[in-house]
Structure 1
């Protein structure tokens, strides 16, 4: 069974981290993971979501292209924006789907870096706690999944938010799906805690770039559209603290939407495997780019510049977007 050549994680540290998850998740501060930038002062990342289908629906092809682009960019880490394992998450830490949908698919040398992951709604349909279990890091040391946490990359900070509990219909109208609300219920109390922790982290952040990651859309022109709970509860906070990017999955496509009343750019990277076709609903926000198909995003950051690139399933560059902090321009 292959494991990645990431920094070794001792069994002691794994057990210690696992024993403190419950305490940290309920504290007033998000757990932080430092991830230094390169010596040249840059940071390169790939972001992908909605992928875990044992290689089917072109997941393997997307993974191959991620490996190729990852090598070109010399990426520092990968962001997974949720719905990591279909259709219903993992059954437990011994579920072979973890190996068949993750370890055996993202095999390129360039992808043997840390993966920072959040849970999606499909992950909550299975054993959500299993994906958070540090035992999975023994199986593949790249894997790190928590409900909400921070990655501190010097001039850039990444705030990962557990968005599934925000969506009321999963609680009131679950249809035939079971949701694993262990460590989450009651909903109102949990959401209040998440927002409090995020508010504190964003308020204290001195980072040049503030990037928030969640599974669910805030703005989208595809099937799911805007997530009204996030528009109401999360978006005002992002605007208030000058967040630059919100990156999500959930809609199985690639999108870039600019806010009309703030600098926030909404990026959807939900094309890791199965994609939807022919679904488009106009938005009142400014649509910069929409690709109703599979693919992923790259992000390269320095202290002054950000470059966002969208790639399709064949690795073709679909859109390039540049931001400059000094000039306050978007190109």
Structure 2
């Protein structure tokens, strides 16, 4: 059976879109896998960002997906980013778990969403069979799906750095209430050190005008989970040193925009793909620009000189807009 991903639509200018150009074979000092995605013929990119969604359509996941399809069509999106917690409550049980199709393939059915999905793992994904979620077998079921621990997505105007944040969180390693699949990750100190070294090297190599980092866990958040101290201590200094523009995450089931008071980085939370409404608000040291304790998603339109970010609720209503500029040299 032909997957929905293989039925994907074409370039805005009519050329067939190679959804995944694949691993670049050129040598690099960074060891993170690299993928490439083409920009539109006008040199722009547009995409959606959604997180914390995989509930087999429940908790308004289907409603959010419907609105994503409408906005995706309006913008002519090139791909979708998932910020993790892709399958609740405890990830996938294996490559044959029906939850993959029940929470993904059968939910995001709009024609505009038949594009490549670039995903990271969340803490709930780590409670299941992580290797299944990373397996190419899932791509045969639905060709849109691409999920790895950490990797780089290269385009002409923006480089995306996807970071596996769950192993950073110390409490998960000793948590008694849940099992975590640490295969290929333990010992976590060495894993994190290698990841940070590779990320730093890759950021230093990047020549794209924009640099966006995507992870599951919050770095700055006023909602239930709040700030992730391990990321502030270990990951943030590397982002600041290398001039990262945006840190994009899920984990907290809400929509947020927070601006750093000590630098230019913007923190964007898109974790409203299904269950939300936590009723928690705890300010932090940075500047809160927008907070919506509910369901929704985010769109981004990027050119070499500008980035436009829009937050939507589950009814497709615009809640917040952010426009960033970049001086073109």
TM-score, normalised by the number of residues in structure 2: 0.92
1:33 match:
35
Q: Could you tell me which residue of structure 2 aligns to residue 55 of structure 1?
A: 57
Cα distance in 2 for partners of 1:247, 1:28 equals: 21
Q: CA deviation at 1:9?
A: 9.0
After the TM superposition, which of the residue ranges 27-36 and 80-89 deviates more from structure 2?
A: 27-36
SS of aligned partner of 1:121: coil
Counterpart check, 1:46 vs 2:48: yes
Q: Residue 252 of structure 1 corresponds to which residue in structure 2?
A: 253
Match of 1:231 in 2: 232
Which residue number in structure 2 is paired with residue 240 of structure 1? 241
Q: How does 1:190-269 map to 2 (within 5 A)?
A: 190-269=191-270
Alignment of 1:260-299 (within 5 A): 260-299=261-300
Q: CA deviation at 1:184?
A: 0.4
Assess if the C-alpha contact under 8 Å between 1:8 and 1:141 holds in 2.
Answer: no
CA distance in 2: counterparts of 1:67 and 1:113, whole angstroms? 11
Whether 1:92 and 2:94 are equivalent positions in the alignment is yes
For residues 169-213 of structure 1, give each alpha carbon's deviation from its aligned partner in whole angstroms, at most 9, with x where no partner exists: 0002x1310000000000101001110110010011111000000
Show structure 2 runs of 5+ residues with no match.
9-16
Counterparts of 1:291 and 1:33, CA distance in 2: 33
Asked if structure 1 preserves the Cα contact closer than 8 Å seen for 2:167 and 2:185, the reply is: yes
Helix, strand or coil at the partner of 2:133: helix
Q: Is the 1:148–1:161 contact (alpha carbons within 8 Å) kept by the matching residues of 2?
A: yes
Determine the C-alpha separation between the residues in 2 that align with 1:272 and 1:231: 25
Partner of 2:321: 320
Deviation of residue 306 (structure 1)?
A: 0.5
Kept in 1: contact 2:224–2:278 (CA 8 A): no
Task: Encode CA deviations 1:107-148: one digit per residue, 9 max, x unaligned.
Answer: 000000000000000000000110100000000000000000
Q: Deviations over 1:204-227 (max 9, x none)?
A: 111100000000000000000000
1:129 partnered with 2:131: yes
Give the distance between the partners of 1:312 and 1:79, measured in 2 at CA: 17
Alpha-carbon shift at residue 43 of structure 1 (Å): 0.4
- Provide the C-alpha distance between the structure 1 equivalents of 2:18 and 2:40, rounded to a whole number of angstroms: 20
Contact 2:154 2:160 in 1 (8 A): yes
- Asked if the contact 2:19/2:115 (under 8 Å) is kept, the reply is no
Q: CA deviation at 1:8?
A: 8.0
Report if the CA contact (8 A) 2:51-2:271 is conserved. Answer: yes
- Deviation of 1:278 after TM superposition, in Å, equals 1.6
Structure 1: 4+ residue segments shifted above 4 A: 7-10
Query: Could you give the per-residue CA deviations for residues 272-308 of structure 1, whole angstroms, max 9, x where no partner exists?
Result: 0000332000111000000000000001000000000
- Structure 2 match to 1:69: 71
Helix, strand or coil at the partner of 1:320? strand
Q: Which residue of 2 aligns with 1:188?
A: 189
The whole-number CA distance in structure 2 between the counterparts of 1:165 and 1:46 is 26
Residue 308 (structure 1) aligns with: 309
Query: Could you state the TM-score of these two structures normalised by the residue count of structure 1?
Result: 0.92
Number of residue pairs the alignment of both structures matches: 314
Task: Give 1:153 shift.
Answer: 1.2
The 1:258/1:36 distance shift into structure 2, 3 A limit, reads: same
Equivalent in the alignment of 1:111: 113
